[in-house]
Amino acid sequence: MSTDDSRRRLRVAIREMEIDDLSDVYHLGSRLFTSGELPTLYRTWDEYEVTTFFNTDTEYCLVADVDGEVAGFVLGTTYEKDGSAWKYGYVAWIGVKPEHRGQKLGHRLYQELERRMAEDGVRIMLMDTEAGNKAAISFFSRMGFGRPEPQVWMSKTLRREASPANGAVRRHASPARSMRLALRKPAEASSAASNGHATDRALHQTVKTV
């Protein structure tokens, strides 16, 4: 049997993420989003990314199910700006297992996400990545995105300090997570601050009008 024949026989479904998929999505993301290639961008991937998007934007958390296996996923959210009548959709994370690439799973995941967001009134789609992430830029260009702009990432390592009271080590808040908290949708900011699971990232690098 040829490779093409075997691929045509695969049962592929793009569906909403379920609670049983959380572990698979997290581990797949950990496999794909490595700090070795894009250290600043991928440093923000952790289990809270998956659980927070799942809890707040379930309809925009999709997986590519291939023969009962999670072979890819996309996580997104929407927001509205004060004083603007337009609603924005943001593609936070998208990834496909290397062994399933070439089957257009990423294309199908994104198209379903865009369809859902357009039905919910989204007018502009946004994504962001590092300028050196050529694969992501190429993918989103094929999805119709344009107007790429350079993006500056900055980081600062904070030292740990001993508490004067008991000598315990006190960790400073993550600057990256604090930045994402400030960019959350207004209705979610207070709850995100209380549980420490803010997940939105800096937006405007590449846009698409739906």
Q: How far is CA 63 from the centre of its chain?
A: 12
- Rounded to whole angstroms, the Cα distance separating 91 from 68 reads 24
Tens of pLDDT, residue by residue over 91-113, are 999 999 999 988 999 999 999 99
Distance CA 43, CA 51 (A): 17
Q: How far from each other are the two terminal CA atoms of the chain, in whole angstroms?
A: 41
**Domain 3-149+171-209, CATH:** 3.40.630.30
In this predicted model, what pLDDT tens digit does every residue of 14-28 receive, in sequence order? 999 999 999 999 999
Q: Is the pTM of this model over 0.75?
A: no
Instruction: Please report, for the chain, the start and end positions of each structural domain, with discontinuous segments joined by +.
Output: 3-149+171-209
Local confidence band at 176 (pLDDT 50, 70, 90 cut-offs): very low
Judged by DSSP in three states, 146 sits in: strand
